[in-house]
């Protein structure tokens, strides 16, 4: 319990060097700082003046969401390109209920049909979700051989969840669905490795 008649000198915390970050520290470096230091927040020093404090919650403001979304939609674009390499085979790798969902969306979007009444495969593929594209890539042997990080199904699902969470946010700006402090940096590293491996695969198949 506080003694209300004491001075705050008796209950304040001292500033330690480990709790200070320079104001020009990048968002990227602050993510790794939170991974390596266990304190609840950092004090931000600009010149010789403290200008504010940074908690892990602050990382989940719009700038980080923008960075994560940029990475995730790029991953989805690459996965789409992978799936379109052999679209007819790709659709066979999707569960029937997911294919049906994509077909329903195709009709809702009023895409045209071919003269023989079939779906245009590229348009139909655009109606799939990110998780469908993951499923296709994970079930394509030649892709998994060159993109082994796809075997981490847990992180594939997390990427899909995070993409949807950022694209369709609820009322709360800082959602609890974003990765927690321990898992954010490992997730980003996994996603960057996936990005690299998919890039290499696509360059390989493009010849």
Partner 1 sequence: MDKLIAVTTVSLSDTKAGKNIKHLIDDDMTSNSHFQQLAHLITVTDICTPFLSTFESRSLVRVVWTEWSDLCDERGLDPVEQIAIVTDENKVIGWIGYV
CB of residue 84 to partner 1, shortest distance in Å: 20
Contacting residue, 12, 36, 116, 206, with partner 1 by CB under 8 A: 12
CB 165 within 8 A of CB 119: no
Query: Which parts of 22-51 interact with partner 1 (CB under 8 A)?
Result: 23-28, 30-31, 40-44, 46, 50-51
Identify the CA nearest to 157 among candidates 176, 170, 138.
Answer: 138
Nearest CA to 135 out of 151, 122, 119 is that of 151
Q: Which of 189, 171, 181 is nearest to 58 (CA)?
A: 181
Instruction: Enter the DSSP assignment of 6.
Output: S
98: closest CA among 63, 128, 139? 128
| 62-121 residues near partner 1, rule: CB under 8 A | 63-64, 66-68, 70-71, 74
Q: Is 61 in the site for partner 1 (CB under 8 A)?
A: yes
Counting residues that bind partner 1 (by CB under 8 A) gives 52
For tokens 């995070």, the residue is: 162
Between 119 and 187, name the residue whose CB sits nearer to partner 1: 187
Chain positions contacting partner 1, by CB under 8 A: 2-15, 21, 23-28, 30-31, 40-44, 46, 50-55, 58-59, 61, 63-64, 66-68, 70-71, 74, 188, 191-192, 195-196, 199
């Amino acid at each position: 319990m506080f003694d209300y008649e004491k001075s705050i000198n008796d209950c304040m915390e001292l500033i330690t060097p480990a709790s200070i970050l320079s104001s020009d520290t990048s968002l990227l470096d602050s993510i790794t700082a939170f991974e390596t230091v266990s304190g609840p927040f950092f004090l931000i020093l600009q010149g010789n003046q403290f200008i504010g404090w940074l908690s892990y919650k602050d990382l989940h403001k719009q700038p980080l969401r923008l960075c994560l979304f940029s990475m995730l939609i790029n991953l989805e674009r690459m996965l789409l390109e992978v799936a379109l390499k052999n679209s007819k085979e790709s659709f066979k790798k999707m569960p029937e209920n997911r294919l049906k969902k994509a077909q329903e969306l195709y009709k809702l979007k009023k895409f045209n049909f071919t003269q023989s009444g079939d779906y245009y495969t590229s348009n139909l593929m655009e109606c799939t979700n990110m998780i469908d594209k993951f499923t296709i890539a994970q079930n394509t042997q030649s892709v998994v051989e060159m993109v082994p990080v796809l075997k981490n199904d847990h992180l594939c699902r997390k990427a899909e969840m995070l993409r949807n969470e950022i694209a369709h946010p609820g009322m709360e700006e800082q959602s609890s669905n974003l990765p927690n402090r321990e898992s954010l940096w490992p997730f980003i590293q996994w996603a960057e490795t996936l990005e690299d491996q998919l890039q290499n695969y696509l360059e390989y198949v493009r010849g």
